[in-house]
Amino acid sequence: MHETKADLLREVANYYSEKLALHGETPRGVDWNGEEGQALRFNQLCKVVNGADSFSLNDLGCGYGSLFDFLRENYSTFSYLGLDVSEDMVRAASTRYLDQHQARFIASPEPDAAADYGVASGIFNVRLGRTDAEWQSYLEATLDVLDRTSRLGFSFNCLTSYSDENKKRDYLYYADPCQLFDLCKKRYSTQVALLHDYGLYEFTILVRKI
């Protein structure tokens, strides 16, 4: 792995390991405000599944595995791979879902196998001390991974550049939704949706391949 990317991922892993240690297996433990926003966010991301009866899904940046709970509540037949760069998160998730045979967790920035769908929730938010250019490069490289390892489609979310200026934080990355929509349309598929109407300071992009 390129040294700069390895350093970046190590910084992110340490950040989220510290959050987990402080707040435990809760939305705050993965740097979200609460359960209501988390459920709303998952609902947007999973629109890419599009009513499938049975599917497989890779969850990039799975944290302690909370998306798996959402999937169990809303879908009957699926297999799930959760991956995270924080080994502490992966240990917590593996223990939490030890008896769930359709779930698997690995410490890695990339899936070890392709799935029908790929999801990335919140992994593009915390840039710490990285520049806009460095973080944009990491973001686009990760979208390439999602595309390569997702057969039917993928989804991801970002904090929006349309956020109120007085609420923005220097250590967070606020992406341009129009720029990423254009990138996805040109690079990955003609079937792309931009969701920016669900009441949070973020947006979700769905990329469907069929």
Q: What is the pLDDT along the chain (210 residues), one digit of tens a residue?
A: 444 677 887 777 787 778 777 767 655 544 555 578 888 999 999 999 977 789 999 999 998 899 999 999 999 999 999 999 888 889 999 999 999 999 999 999 999 999 999 999 999 999 888 899 999 999 999 999 999 999 999 999 999 999 999 989 998 999 999 999 999 999 999 999 999 999 999 999 999 998
The CA distances from residue 46 to 16, 59, 98, 159, 184, in Å, are: 23, 11, 24, 18, 18
- Domains of the chain: total: 1
pLDDT score at 89: 87
pLDDT score at 148: 98
Note down the domain range covering 163: 3-208
Which of 50, 76, 60 is CA-nearest to residue 153?
Answer: 50
User: Which residues touch 139 (CB under 8 Å, ≥6 apart)?
Assistant: 124, 158, 173, 175
Instruction: In whole angstroms, give the CA distance from residue 47 to residue 158.
Output: 16
pTM: 0.87
pLDDT score at 81: 98
Amino acid at 147: D
CATH of residue 27: 3.40.50.150
Token couple for 109: 């920035």
User: b/e for 86-104, b at 16 or more Cβ within 10 A?
Assistant: bebbbbbbbebbeeeeebb
